[in-house]
Amino acid sequence: MTNVRTHCITPCLWFDNNAEDAIRLYTSVFRNSKIVHLHPVLSTFEIDGQRIMALNGGPHFKFTEAISLFVSCDTQEEIDYYWERLKADGGAEVQCGWLKDKFGLSWQIVPAILSEMMNDPDRQKTERVMQAVLKMKKLNIRELKQAYAE
């Protein structure tokens, strides 16, 4: 393939005229983040180097669970931090490490170790971990490790 240009893929989130509020929340929650450009219609911000656009598109479309933002956490303290801040002021706990923030955007707050556990060749271990996950809203690393070790 000649003359193929590499493109940057940037998610664009549709908000009901409250994109600036969402951007300010997200950049306050995530330490390595910044507002790149604020505009009444289309704004841009970054979280850990991932550029995201926010559109004030009005009430025509709503977020669904068909898309979520995945946050991989190394410690229970990180899980607790993101969980509490993203569900604050009208957000809601869902299930299995998922929550919706007050704007309706779905987030997955997941311990990094879960991927290792779920990819273990021992299917009994992975099944025990999956059963533990299914019983939780906010994921608990200690309980997942217990299920894995049984």
Closest CA to 77 of 87, 89, 85, 67: 85
pLDDT digits (tens, 9 = 90+) for 7-62: 789 999 999 999 999 999 999 999 999 999 999 999 999 999 999 999 999 999 99
- Mark whether 146 and 96 lie in a shared domain: yes
Number of structural domains in the chain: 2
- Mark whether 55 and 82 lie in a shared domain: no
How far is residue 50 CA from its own chain's centroid?
A: 13
> pTM of the predicted model, to two decimals?
0.92
CATH number at residue 75: 3.10.180.10
- Mark whether 14 and 76 lie in a shared domain: no
**For residues 12 and 138, what is the distance between their CA atoms, to the nearest angstrom?**
27
Does residue 42 fall inside a structural domain? yes
Does residue 2 fall inside a structural domain? no
